[in-house]
Amino acid sequence: MQKRTDSTAPDNPMAIQTAELLQRRWLSKNAFEIELTRPSAFEFEAGHTICFIHESMERYYSVLSTPDDPTLAICVFYVPRGSFAPVLAHAAIGTRFNISGPHGYFTFKPSARAPVFVATGTGIAPFVSFARSGIKHFALFHEATSSEELYYQTDFKKLTSAYHPCLPAETTVAAMPEGMFQGHVVGCITTHLTRGTYDFYLCGHREMIRNVTLLVDDRFPGSHVYTEVFF
């Protein structure tokens, strides 16, 4: 039986700090990246999250930046009628936000086992920070609903030879891009990952995390599983 570790925010987050919006760029019609000033006392590890505190809302986002970067960047899934994503999508450059953190436990744990990163959609965010922070020799499986939502794929193609983008079987495309797996990420892992013991890091929706965990039980006994649910 593999070890499972769920990621949740600690009970006593750091004091509220402020960060200023520096820039915004759209990654697709459904997601964008923003860059913020980094408070001088904000120290974090790759995989940590920050919490935005806005009116009565609190929203957590994984940090894309590395611990050595002078600014903080996050990736946001855009829900037009959402309660907070539109605030970040339309805020003027220079807007200041209250944040707290770092939060969470979805950080890299070095071991003798090879790391396997599995993401759906914007759940790719912590793995961007992992890779940019110098973690190497990992396999990455990323499932998205369209090829334009395989965020940061250009970066990952340069950082690992084991980059496996996946589009669900029901996705209709005129011609499948080269190197693309047509199907869900579970099928892609079954096809491309040899049997053995690994450290699996899963970030994305609950269904993916459940299905991959069941696959690990079946095909990769003795592996460790670390999870972060993205809503």
Query: Quick one: which H or E segment has residue 127?
Result: helix 125-132
Q: Which domains does the chain have, with CATH numbers?
A: 8-103 (2.40.30.10), 106-229 (3.40.50.80)
User: Quick check: 114 and 140 in contact, CB under 8 A?
Assistant: no
Note the pLDDT tens digit of each residue in 123-168: 999 999 999 999 999 999 999 998 899 999 999 999 888 999 999 8
Note the pLDDT tens digit of each residue in 43-87: 999 999 999 999 889 999 999 999 999 999 999 999 988 889 999
Quote the pTM value.
Answer: 0.90
Question: For 178-192, what is the mean pLDDT?
Answer: 91
Of 79, 105, 103, give the one whose Cα is nearest residue 203: 105
Backbone φ and ψ for 214, nearest 5 degrees, come out as -65, -40
Question: Which residue do the tokens 């950080």 mark?
Answer: 107
User: Quick check: 139 and 114 in contact, CB under 8 A?
Assistant: yes
